[in-house]
Amino acid sequence: MYHPAMHLKSRFVPDSGPLLGGCYLLVWLGLWLTVQPFWILPYGLRFGALLLTPTRYWGWILGAELTAATGIHWLQEQGDGWGVFLIGEVSGPLVVAAGLGLLRHLRVHLSLNSPSDVIRLLVAVTLIVTATAVTDAALLTLTHMPVPSARMIQVLGRDLLSHYLGILLMVPLMIMLLRTRVEPSALHSLSMDGMLVMLPAMTILLALSVQDEPLPQFARVLSLAPVLFFAFRHGWRGASLAMIISSLGITLVDQQLGHVPSSAAAYLFLAVAGTGAIMLGSATDALRRSSARVAEQNVYLGAVNRRLDQLAHQLRDAARGNLHAEENQRRHLAAELHDELGQNITAIQTHVKLAQARLQQAGMEDVSSSINTILARMRNALHRLLDDLRPAVLDEFGLFRAIDEGPIRELLSTAGIEYFAELHGDPRLLDDDTRTALYRLAQEAATNTVKHAHAGTFRLRLRIGARQAMKLAMLDLRDDGIGLPQRMPRGGRGLQGMRDRVTSLGGQFRLRTDHPGVHLRILLRSNNPDREIRHRN
């Protein structure tokens, strides 16, 4: 794909003014032999050469064209005189050069990259062609006797159409040859379609052209159908090549069969069809580039998503490992506190009991009673601490009984909150981490309700089951308290800690606001329940 900036160096263009002028002269002479009333390819060659070359070479290009035109006029010894020749051959190139120079000065880049660029190019072409035709008509009027208005309009329309058609046929071809880079696979596909589509189309054109009217006119219209095919399949490059072949075929058939050159209507249809085909081809190219970019972005995003999934799995595994290590540490700490501190409290109580008789004899019975009261409080505090670290009821009686009859009910009952628990399913389907997380979540929610909710009831519903070989646990927690405050207090980690615990296990945590109080819905998935069940059995 070529860069739209016109000042960039084109491929295959000689970096020498004389050499460039010589090459342009040879091509211009070759195209001059094909000039017809509505078929003026040298004008399109001039427009494309000035468009694609740096300004410093314009003098060589215009000089080469003027030299060639002068030689042809001298050899043909036309009777119009050198004045008319200079008006016709000098004014046109100067108007085109002035128009393109103005666009270049205004930094208006003309290209075929996108439909908007094509429209910009076609508008520029229309304006410059109109300026050229009007200038020629004005100069012709000044140097000749008055020309009838109908004849002037006819000449003006013919110049407009022939110049526009010449640019339409030549400029895309020159851009393709000098500015773009065609892949070998695309060139092979274009060649194959040319043989399979354009060759039969030209054969049909020749066969119908020898028939009586209106078949020849129908053949000319039908020959433009492959142009649309090439526009869809090969973009503006295919459309431009198909346009050249179709228009060349029409001209050659007319010349070989001795037909009168086609009317302006036929060439006007050719210009309109070519314009639409170029725009359609450019839109097709833009759509393909967009699709290619989207495909590349999708591949990139797919790789990023896979990487993010890997990182998410790693983070979840790390978080699960941290929770597992934390629970092991809690279990170890609870065992140490139970063995060391619990035994020491029991030993103190035993020694106090043994010394109770002597304390009574010494009149210190109240000291014994105070020590026993303090030890009882220490034992109760130790039991609560052990339940927080690792509830023994969860290990001894299982998840359901721990939730329904354990410390959670005791905590809520002590606070005067009515507790309703609805339990369904088999906890053995879940692994140990998931069962512990469910109990911790229920315990944290109950603690938050006691501390902050001012609630009268606390409801817990737990459903455990399997779906498509995946073990699921749905935990629903709600109270009828005052709900959450508008601004969360600083240092509050209750809900966030619950959310982090659920996220670390790859679950879903949802805080619902369609219910008075606080309503939590938690979904957890168990990783290796079968191994855990076998281990427990």
Q: How confident is the model at residue 255 (pLDDT cuts 50, 70, 90)?
A: low
Residue 189, classified by CB atoms within 10 Å of its CB into exposed (0-12), middle (13-18) or buried (19+), is: middle
Q: What are phi and psi of 450, to 5 degrees?
A: -65, -40
Give CA–CA dist 232/398, Å, rounded. Answer: 70
- Residue carrying the six token digits 């020898």: 210
Between residues 537 and 88, the one the model is more confident about? 88
Q: How confident is the model at residue 87 (pLDDT cuts 50, 70, 90)?
A: low
5-19 confidence digits (pLDDT tens): 443 345 556 678 889
pTM for the full predicted model: 0.60
Amino acid, single-letter form, for residue 18: P
The DSSP output letter for 198 is I
Please tell me whether residue 505 adopts helix, strand or coil conformation. coil
Closest residue by Cα to residue 53 from 91, 83, 81, 20:
20
Ranking 285-289, 299-303, 334-338, 354-358 by mean pLDDT, the lowest is 334-338
User: How remote is the C-alpha of 171 from its chain's centroid?
Assistant: 33
Closest residue by Cα to residue 239 from 252, 247, 229, 249:
229
Residues 522/474, Cβ–Cβ less than 8 Å: yes
Q: What are phi and psi of 464, to 5 degrees?
A: -125, 130
Give CA–CA dist 464/473, Å, rounded. Answer: 4
Chosen CATH of 1-181 out of 1.10.1760, 3.40.1000, 1.20.120, 3.30.1300: 1.10.1760
pLDDT of residue 295: 92
- Residue carrying the six token digits 């076998």: 534
Residue 101's CB: how many other CB atoms inside 10 A?
Answer: 13
Class of domain 398-536: alpha beta
pLDDT at residue 460 tops 90: yes
Q: What are phi and psi of 110, to 5 degrees?
A: -105, 125
Closest residue by Cα to residue 437 from 487, 469, 396, 391:
391
pLDDT at residue 84 tops 70: no
Residue 476, classified by CB atoms within 10 Å of its CB into exposed (0-12), middle (13-18) or buried (19+), is: middle
Give CA–CA dist 479/515, Å, rounded. Answer: 9
Between residues 178 and 393, the one the model is more confident about? 178
Mean pLDDT of 302-327: 80
Which residues on adjacent β-strands are paired with residue 459? 420, 478
Distances (CA, A) of 416 to 337, 442, 446: 30, 18, 12
pLDDT of residue 269: 79
Give CA–CA dist 67/227, Å, rounded. Answer: 36
231-246 confidence digits (pLDDT tens): 888 888 888 888 888 8
Q: How confident is the model at residue 230 (pLDDT cuts 50, 70, 90)?
A: confident
pLDDT of residue 210: 66
| Residues sharing a CB contact under 8 Å with residue 18, sequence separation 6 or more, in sequence order | 60
User: How remote is the C-alpha of 315 from its chain's centroid?
Assistant: 28
Which residues on adjacent β-strands are paired with residue 477? 460, 520
Sign of the CA dihedral 157, 281, 121, 119?
Answer: positive
Angle subtended at Cα 48 by Cα 45 and Cα 54, rounded to the nearest 5 degrees: 125
pLDDT of residue 464: 93
pLDDT of residue 296: 92
Residues 431/457, Cβ–Cβ less than 8 Å: no
pLDDT at residue 358 tops 90: no
Please tell me whether residue 471 adopts helix, strand or coil conformation. strand
Q: How confident is the model at residue 107 (pLDDT cuts 50, 70, 90)?
A: confident
Domain with CATH 1.10.1760 in the chain: 1-181
pLDDT at residue 171 tops 80: yes
Structure tokens at 41: 């390819």
Ranking 139-148, 158-167, 273-282, 485-494 by mean pLDDT, the lowest is 485-494
397-455 confidence digits (pLDDT tens): 889 999 998 889 988 999 999 999 999 999 988 988 888 889 989 989 998 999 888 89
Between residues 66 and 340, the one the model is more confident about? 66
Q: How confident is the model at residue 529 (pLDDT cuts 50, 70, 90)?
A: very low
Between residues 497 and 297, the one the model is more confident about? 297
pLDDT at residue 145 tops 50: yes
Give CA–CA dist 313/93, Å, rounded. Answer: 70
Structure tokens at 92: 């046109």
Which residues on adjacent β-strands are paired with residue 458? 419, 479
Q: What are phi and psi of 147, to 5 degrees?
A: -105, 140
Look at strands 457-467 and 418-424 and give their pairing.
parallel
Residue 488's CB: how many other CB atoms inside 10 A?
Answer: 11
Closest residue by Cα to residue 103 from 127, 83, 87, 85:
127
Work out the percent of the chain whose per-residue pLDDT is above 70: 81
491-506 confidence digits (pLDDT tens): 456 788 888 888 888 8
Q: Give every strand in the sheet of 457-467, ordered side by side.
A: 418-424, 457-467, 470-479, 519-526, 508-512
Closest residue by Cα to residue 522 from 458, 452, 482, 473:
473
pLDDT of residue 298: 92
pLDDT of residue 536: 43
pLDDT of residue 193: 81
Q: How confident is the model at residue 147 (pLDDT cuts 50, 70, 90)?
A: low
| 416 Ramachandran zone, left/alpha/beta (phi>0; psi -120 to 50) | left
pLDDT at residue 489 tops 50: yes
Instruction: HSE, CB side, 13 Å, CA atoms: give it for residue 355.
Output: 16
pLDDT at residue 78 tops 70: no
pLDDT of residue 417: 93
Work out the percent of the chain whose per-residue pLDDT is above 90: 19
Mean pLDDT of 321-338: 72
